[in-house]
Chains A and B, each alone.
Chain A
Amino acid sequence: MLPYLQYTFPNDIHIHWSIMIVLYPYITGLVAGAFIVSAFYHVFQKKEYQPIGRFSLLTSLAFLLCATIPLLNHLGHPERAFNIMITPNFSSAMAGFGILYTLYLVILLLEIWLVFRPDIIFYAKNYRGIRALPYRVLTLGVYDLSEEALRADRKAITILATLGLPAACLLHGYVGFLFGAIKANPWWSTPLMPIIFLFSAVVSGIALLIILYQWLAAFRNEEVNQDCLRGMARWLWYFQIQTVTLELLEIVTLSYERNEEWEIIAPLLTHQLTFSFISVQMVLGSLIPFILLMITVLMDRYLHTKVRNALTFFASLLLLIQVFAMRWNVVIGGQMMSKSLRGLRDFHPEFLAKEGVLPAILIFALPFLLLYLLVKFFPPFEKKAGQLSA
Chain B
Amino acid sequence: MNKGHYRHLLRALILVAGACLVFFLLRAFLIPRSFGKYGFFRGDNLKEQADIPVVHGNPQACAECHDEQVKMIASGPHAGVPCQDCHAPLTQHITEEGIVPMPITRSYALCARCHQKLDARPKTFPQIDFQDHVAAKGKNWESEDICLNCHRSHNPLKKK
A interface list, Cβ under 8 A from B? 1-2, 4-10, 12-13, 82, 86-87, 89, 106, 110, 113, 117, 139-142, 144, 146, 148-149, 151-153, 156, 338, 340, 342-346
Q: Hey, which chain A residues are within 8 Å of B16, CB to CB? A: 106, 110
Indicate whether B88 reaches chain A with its CB closer than 8 angstroms: yes
Partner-binding segment picked from B68-76, B103-111, B147-155: B103-111
B interface list, Cβ under 8 A from A? 1-2, 4-9, 11-12, 15-16, 27, 30-31, 35, 40, 56, 82, 84-85, 88-89, 92, 103, 105, 107, 109-110, 113-114, 118-122, 125
Q: Given that A4-B88, A5-B85, A338-B120 are contacting pairs, would A140 and B114 also be in contact in the complex, using a CB cutoff of 8 Å? A: no
B5, B9, B105, B122: the one contacting A146 at CB < 8 Å is B5
Q: Hey, which chain A residues are within 8 Å of B6, CB to CB? A: 149, 152
- A-B pairs, 3 with minimum CB distance: A338-B120, A142-B8, A148-B5
Q: Hey, which chain A residues are within 8 Å of B9, CB to CB? A: 152-153, 156
Q: Hey, which chain B residues are within 8 Å of A8, CB to CB? A: 85, 113-114
Give min CB distance, B48 to chain A, whole Å: 16
Contact assessment for A2 and B110 in the assembled complex, using a CB-CB cutoff below 8 Å: yes
- The closest CB in chain B to the CB of A82 belongs to B30
Q: How far is the CA of A10 from the CA of B92 in the complex (A)?
A: 25
Q: Hey, which chain B residues are within 8 Å of A151, CB to CB? A: 1
Q: Hey, which chain B residues are within 8 Å of A149, CB to CB? A: 5-6, 8
Contact assessment for A343 and B121 in the assembled complex, using a CB-CB cutoff below 8 Å: yes
- The closest CB in chain A to the CB of B7 belongs to A142
Q: Hey, which chain A residues are within 8 Å of B8, CB to CB? A: 117, 139-140, 142, 144, 149
Give min CB distance, A170 to chain B, whole Å: 20
Contact assessment for A2 and B120 in the assembled complex, using a CB-CB cutoff below 8 Å: no
Q: How far is the CA of A73 from the CA of B35 in the complex (A)?
A: 27
Contact assessment for A2 and B15 in the assembled complex, using a CB-CB cutoff below 8 Å: no
Q: Given that A10-B121, A13-B120, A342-B121 are contacting pairs, would A86 and B7 also be in contact in the complex, using a CB cutoff of 8 Å? A: no
A7, A12, A141, A148: the one contacting B11 at CB < 8 Å is A141
A5, A142, A344: the one contacting B119 at CB < 8 Å is A344
Q: Hey, which chain A residues are within 8 Å of B105, CB to CB? A: 2
Residue of A7, A8, A106 most packed against chain B (CB within 10 A): A8
User: What are 17 of the A-B contact pairs (CB < 8 Å)?
Assistant: A2-B110, A5-B113, A13-B120, A89-B40, A106-B16, A110-B12, A110-B16, A142-B7, A142-B8, A144-B5, A148-B5, A149-B6, A153-B9, A343-B121, A343-B122, A344-B119, A345-B118
Contact assessment for B1 and A152 in the assembled complex, using a CB-CB cutoff below 8 Å: yes
B5, B11, B118: the one contacting A343 at CB < 8 Å is B118
- The closest CB in chain B to the CB of A342 belongs to B122
Q: Hey, which chain A residues are within 8 Å of B119, CB to CB? A: 338, 343-346
- The closest CB in chain A to the CB of B29 belongs to A86
Give min CB distance, A273 to chain B, whole Å: 14
Q: How far is the CA of A342 from the CA of B120 in the complex (A)?
A: 6
Contact assessment for A140 and B12 in the assembled complex, using a CB-CB cutoff below 8 Å: yes
Give min CB distance, A156 to chain B, whole Å: 6
- The closest CB in chain A to the CB of B86 belongs to A5
Q: How far is the CA of A340 from the CA of B118 in the complex (A)?
A: 13
Q: Given that A146-B5, A152-B5, A343-B118 are contacting pairs, would A5 and B12 also be in contact in the complex, using a CB cutoff of 8 Å? A: no
Q: How far is the CA of A151 from the CA of B9 in the complex (A)?
A: 12
Contact assessment for A87 and B5 in the assembled complex, using a CB-CB cutoff below 8 Å: no
Q: How far is the CA of A87 from the CA of B29 in the complex (A)?
A: 12
Q: Hey, which chain B residues are within 8 Å of A340, CB to CB? A: 120, 122
Q: Hey, which chain A residues are within 8 Å of B56, CB to CB? A: 6
Contact assessment for A12 and B84 in the assembled complex, using a CB-CB cutoff below 8 Å: no
Q: Hey, which chain A residues are within 8 Å of B120, CB to CB? A: 10, 12-13, 338, 340, 342-345
Q: Hey, which chain B residues are within 8 Å of A144, CB to CB? A: 4-5, 7-8
Q: Hey, which chain B residues are within 8 Å of A142, CB to CB? A: 7-8, 11
